[in-house]
Amino acid sequence: MRPMLVAALAATTLLITGACGGNDEATEPSGSTPSSAGAAAYPVTVGALTLEKKPEKIVSLSATGTEMLFAIGAGEQVTAVDDQSTYPTDAPRTNLSGLKPNAEAIAAKDPDLVVLSNDIDKIVSQLDKLKIPVFLVAAATDLGGTYQEIGDLGTLTGHRTEAEAVNAKMKTDIDKIVKDVPARNKPLSYYYELDPTLYTVTSKTFVGSIFSLFGLANVADAADPDGARGGYPQLSAEALVKSDPDTIFLADTKCCQQSVQTVSARKGWSTVAAVKTKQIYPLDDDIASRWGPRTVDLVRAVADAVAKVPS
């Protein structure tokens, strides 16, 4: 399933919103943060969506949206989440699907707000006909997009102040992590793996923008120079080996059981610099593909890896 999903979503410039479980090492956000004293009075409007009152029965069919909602203190308002929303672990997980949304099943939860990551099968218009408010948390293209979505959800849920605090902490943490990594005389090159069929990302994607914070050069950029592939090209094994990346990052460790050992054993890869020097770094699939508050953990993982590579 994973290679097919990556191929389909690459064509629409989206990544999988999450594949497996949460990260046990991360601190889980609380859903019980008190509402801010300065919360905006309703009605509130974000884009084309206006809510007449504070939503108390939110259904999230976006793993990233779920993480955002709990991080800003709106967790107690979330009454149901999709089957991919594995973090935090106390989120009210159901068999609802964000990849194959069913309007009737969603409506049965009697929501006063539905959070989606994309408009699959025109689900938005289906819910509009049922007079169910919908907010799209599309895959961000950079950190600015993540901050905007967190702020928008804060406005809609009555947690604007908490959302601003989450954004401020993310910015502070990311700035410190990046600054603490020593500068290098020569940029490191990297290959970022989405699945074992060699789908990857370019510098023009959200993930690429994170690596750019550290001045890393993406070996996949030449495979999609004009963005015609949405920033998610599929490389050939020959092209990958020829590009000879200094480092390899694996975002398919949980979905596809890829590891330092499996990559090192691939036919013809023994000449790749990252393989020869053991600079292969497994990532948590979920953190790498959910561009919300735990993006800080992704930045930290990249920083820790870069710091380990000899100058």
Question: How does pLDDT run across 141-168, given as a tens digit for each residue?
Answer: 999 999 999 999 999 999 999 999 999 9
Q: Are 251 and 285 in contact (CB under 8 A)?
A: yes
The CATH class of the 31-175 domain is alpha beta
Q: Which position has the higher pLDDT, 20 or 140? A: 140
pLDDT of residue 40: 58
pLDDT exceeds cutoff 80 at 96 = yes
pLDDT of residue 90: 96
pLDDT of residue 98: 94
CA 39, CA 159: separation in Å to the nearest integer? 6
Say what percent of the chain tops pLDDT 70: 87
Average pLDDT over residues 97-113: 97
Give me the residue spans of the domains in the chain.
31-175, 183-308
pLDDT of residue 310: 87
Say what percent of the chain tops pLDDT 90: 85
179-214: pLDDT as tens digits: 999 988 899 999 999 999 999 999 999 999 999 999
Q: Which position has the higher pLDDT, 27 or 294? A: 294
DSSP states along 212-247: HTTTPEETTGGGSTTSTTTT--B--HHHHHHH--SE
pLDDT of residue 256: 97
Please give the CATH topology (third level) of the domain spanning 183-308.
Rossmann fold (3.40.50)
Q: Residue 260 — very low, low, confident or very high, per pLDDT cuts 50/70/90? A: very high
Average pLDDT over residues 112-135: 97
pLDDT exceeds cutoff 50 at 31 = no
CA 237, CA 233: separation in Å to the nearest integer? 13
Average pLDDT over residues 64-74: 98
Q: Whole-number mean pLDDT of the chain?
A: 90
Please name which of 187, 178, 192 lies closest in space to residue 217, comparing C-alpha atoms: 187
Average pLDDT over residues 216-223: 97
pLDDT of residue 173: 98
pLDDT exceeds cutoff 70 at 28 = no
pLDDT of residue 183: 87
